[in-house]
Structure 1
Amino acid sequence: MSTSNLELEVSSSLTAPSLQVPTFHHTPYYCEENIYLLCKKLCDDGLADPDGSDLFVIFISNEKKQIPLWHQKASQRAEGVILWDYHVICVQKKRNENSLSLVWDLDSSLPFPSPLGTYVADSIRPSIQIFSEFKRFFRVVHAPIFLRHFASDRRHMKDSAGNWIAEPPSHEAIVAEDGAVHNLNEYITVSPDDVVKNVEADTVNVVFSEKLGVVIGEDDLLGFFSLIS
């Protein structure tokens, strides 16, 4: 994950338990690995179901790999706005419970975790008009499936000469159960054609079986998680 040099132009209750971000492993610019380890720790520490069945990993990206998010710690601009090429967060929503959907974003300056409604309003800001090239798509993957299939050898964080763009994590690279060593591009590559047009119960059911989950638009993010019950 990296930031874009392109200038970004934009036209401008519920509470969740607050935890400490340093409790979780975090390597700047490696959000996909940070979230992978976060899911495992939430399960191990009893903050999520043991198998991670109440966790959903969300890859936020678009065709141009330029997505605006607010309240990001890496930003040096007003209100923490930044252009990522992609970003990865975790949403926790228990099934068969009238529970609050929580967002775990280790790169956000918002409360950790944040209620999904708060995160959408303050970090995604769908009410703000942005140029169409910055339109964001959300690939939702069920965490138990993600933890089995995701792999990254970090090749995307090297320049053409093989030098690191950002210092890599100290832990070993993530290898999938099937032996795959790198499939990050499968998760972050999205287009308008991938987006589910009508989010309904059947859409939610797909996420529990498909390796790459489902892709939804930002207007459907809250509705998608409201259908998990």
Structure 2
Amino acid sequence: MSTSNLDSSSSVTGSADIPRFHHTPFYCEENVYLLCKKLAADGIARSDGSDLFVIFISNENKQIPLWHQKASHRADGVILWDYHAICIQKRKDSNLPHLVWDLDSSLPFPSPLSTYVSETIRPSFQLFSEFQRFFRIVHAPIFLRSFASDRRHMKDTAGNWLHPPPPYEAIVAEDGTVHNLNEYMEMSSADVIKSVGDDTKDDVYAQRLGVLVSESQLEEIFSLIS
């Protein structure tokens, strides 16, 4: 992911040790891939990652404002990403809040979903239509089998790196696909679901690219996912 200038688990949240999770600046999609694997391996999530969901945030213009981001140079932490990727953990106990794991956030790590929405997405903040944000929700077990990136999006036309790549080998999907990041990032208002229902929940668990929702539907769909 890249930026633009913006001028015109326990039941205790915020207690995770961030350094235990791998983080390469500007490679949020790979960071969230490794994060899901680590949460499952360490017993913070289910061993198969079935309580985890990867969320890609973007829009047609590849300009989405998010607050409380470490890469921001502003006091309010707002930054304009072309896209971003986070993990949401569905809690077994309905009395516990769903958790957002965002390695690029300055909020407590992890944060309750409601807190993350109000502080990072800020739906009450009136945005111009070109900055409206869409959310692609993908079930983590499907994502971990299907995602691939050869990091071509991080090279300029001469083949030089725009940002230094992670030190490990590029991620290849189980079926041998070497790059499909663009499929997760591409979002259109025409593809946003009209309403949230049981069929939406089923699609999240079945579709390789999950479902695309608006910001007003994000918390609603997680109230239905079991």
Q: With structure 2 as the length reference, what TM-score do the two structures score? A: 0.96
Quote the RMSD (CA, aligned, Å): 1.4
1:32 aligns to what?
Answer: 29
1:113 aligned partner, one-letter code: P
Provide the C-alpha distance between the structure 1 equivalents of 2:14 and 2:77, rounded to a whole number of angstroms.
Answer: 22
Aligned positions, number = 224
- Alpha-carbon separation, structure 2, partners of 1:204 and 1:79: 34
Check 1:48–1:110 CA distance in 2 against 1; reply closer, same or farther (3 A cut): same
Tell me if structure 1 keeps the 8 A contact 2:154–2:162: yes
Report the 3-state secondary structure (helix = DSSP H, G, I; strand = E; otherwise coil) of the residue aligned with 1:219: coil
Q: Equivalent residues in 2 for 1:69-218 (5 A)? A: 69-94=66-91, 97-218=94-215
Deviations 1:53-94 (A, max 9, x none): 000000000000000000000000131000000000000004
- CA deviation map 1:7-58 (0-9, x unaligned): 344xxxx962511211100000000000000000000000000000000000
Residue 97 (structure 1) shift: 4.7
Q: Distance in 2 between matches of 1:138 and 1:8?
A: 24
Would the alpha carbon gap of residues 74 and 170 (structure 1) be closer, same or farther in structure 2, given more than 3 Å must change?
A: same
SS for the counterpart of 2:135 is strand
Give 1:215's aligned amino acid. Answer: L
Post-superposition Cα deviations, 1:143-171, rounded to whole Å, max 9, x if no partner, equal 00000000000000001110000000001
> Is the 8 Å Cα contact of residues 91 and 99 (structure 2) preserved in structure 1?
no
Once the two structures are superposed, residues 166-199 of structure 1 have per-residue CA deviations (whole angstroms, 9 ceiling, x without a partner) of 0000011000000000000000000001101101
| 1:62 paired residue among 49, 52, 59 | 59
Q: Measure the CA separation in 2 of the matches of 1:177 and 1:117.
A: 34
Residue 201 of structure 1, CA deviation? 2.0
TM-score (norm 1): 0.94
Question: Where do 5+ consecutive residues of structure 2 fail to align?
Answer: none
Amino acid at match of 1:116: L
Identity level (%): 69
Contact 1:93–1:225 (Cα < 8 Å) also in 2: yes
